[in-house]
Amino acid sequence: TAGLMEGKRGLIMGLANDKSIAWGIAKACADAGAELALTYQGDAFRKRVVPLAEQLGVSQLADCDVTDEASMDALFEQLGDAWGSLDFVVHAIGFSDKNELRGRYVDTSRGNFSMSMDVSVYSFTSLCRRAEKLMTNGGSCLTLTYYGAEKVMPHYNVMGVAKAALEASVRYLAEDLGKNGIRVNGISAGPIKTLAASGIGDFRYILKWNELNSPLRRNVTIGDVGNSALYLLSDLGAGVTGEIHHVDAGYHAVGMKAVDAPDI
């Protein structure tokens, strides 16, 4: 991939630590020659993110809370001043109260429903709207989603509903921004042990289930997601928009895994 992203500048949001999907994508982009801006959420993450940014020679690092319009405006002012234009953005952000990522979906509270939709769905729309202004030579926008948008998965609850809305947003945004040569896609990643995932009930069991039942008989890594992101963010994906691309070892394709059936 050396040189694939040479001359491209991109913003990656959602870096918490070196387990983050955002980290897998940032590394793949940096290895391919991209110049990066990274954001983190609040002081608590700064300590872990600064050394990671240094490792990739990142020039633009910012604290940004996606629910705060002023914070988003300040980020784009910084990027506008520093770079003047932008080629790609990655949205690797989601959040819900972990007390509601167990038990029944029907018990979701109004407050957590709104908050989960705001952080996990609206933020991508507001990111794309701001990015559009800087993507004067076209561009690529990417978000992260999960199979719980399509089918009921244990404990995913309100996040499944949020991811369904996020995937619908990808299609509407692709139509809106396509006229300006801007592509909008999502990667539906298989389960990966990250900070966000640790809030989901029985996550270890879900990982094991995916490992045993996916066609590749393994779980995916942030490296796998990073490499697939590279295809969608670079000119290799020039003809692709409005797409949800599964990077899940094939899990989504299987209705029922073949087994040696007992006599019945």
Annotated binding residues for NAD(+), written as ranges, equal 14, 20-21, 41, 65-66, 93, 163, 192-196
Cβ proximity to ligand NAD: between 14 and 237 the closer is: 14
Please report whether residue 49 would count as binding ligand NAD according to CB under 6 A: no
* Interaction residues for ligand NAD, span 162-201 (CB under 6 A): 189, 191-192, 194-197
Please report whether residue 4 would count as binding ligand NAD according to CB under 6 A: no
Shortest distance, position 150 Cβ to ligand NAD, whole Å: 12
What is the 3-class SS of the chain, one letter each residue? CCCCCCCCEEEEECCCCCCCHHHHHHHHHHHCCCEEEEEECCHHHHHHHHHHHHHCCCCEEEECCCCCHHHHHHHHHHHHHHCCCCCEEEECCCCCCHHHCCCCHHHCCHHHHHHHHHHHHHHHHHHHHHHHHHCECEEEEEEEECHHHCCCCCCCHHHHHHHHHHHHHHHHHHHHHHCCCEEEEEEEECCCCCCCHHHCCCHHHHHHHHHHHCCCCCCCCHHHHHHHHHHHHCHHHCCCCCCEEEECCCHHHCCCCCCCCCCC
How far apart CA 203 and CA 55 sit, in angstroms, is: 30
Please report whether residue 121 would count as binding ligand NAD according to CB under 6 A: no
The residues annotated with a catalytic role in the active site are 146, 156
Cβ proximity to ligand NAD: between 98 and 179 the closer is: 98
Please report whether residue 93 would count as binding ligand NAD according to CB under 6 A: yes
Please report whether residue 65 would count as binding ligand NAD according to CB under 6 A: yes
Please report whether residue 244 would count as binding ligand NAD according to CB under 6 A: no
Instruction: Tell me how crowded residue 202 is: count the other CB atoms within 10 A of its CB.
Output: 12
Shortest distance, position 6 Cβ to ligand NAD, whole Å: 26
Residue from 12, 53, 89, 119 that binds ligand NAD (CB under 6 A)?
119
Shortest distance, position 98 Cβ to ligand NAD, whole Å: 12
Identify which range of 8-16, 133-141, 171-179, 228-236 contacts ligand NAD by CB under 6 A. Answer: 8-16
* Interaction residues for ligand NAD, span 10-29 (CB under 6 A): 14-16, 20-22
Please report whether residue 61 would count as binding ligand NAD according to CB under 6 A: no
Residues 30 and 56: beta-carbon distance below 8 Å: yes
Residues in contact with ligand NAD by CB under 6 A are: 14-16, 20-22, 41, 45, 64-67, 92-95, 119, 144-146, 189, 191-192, 194-197
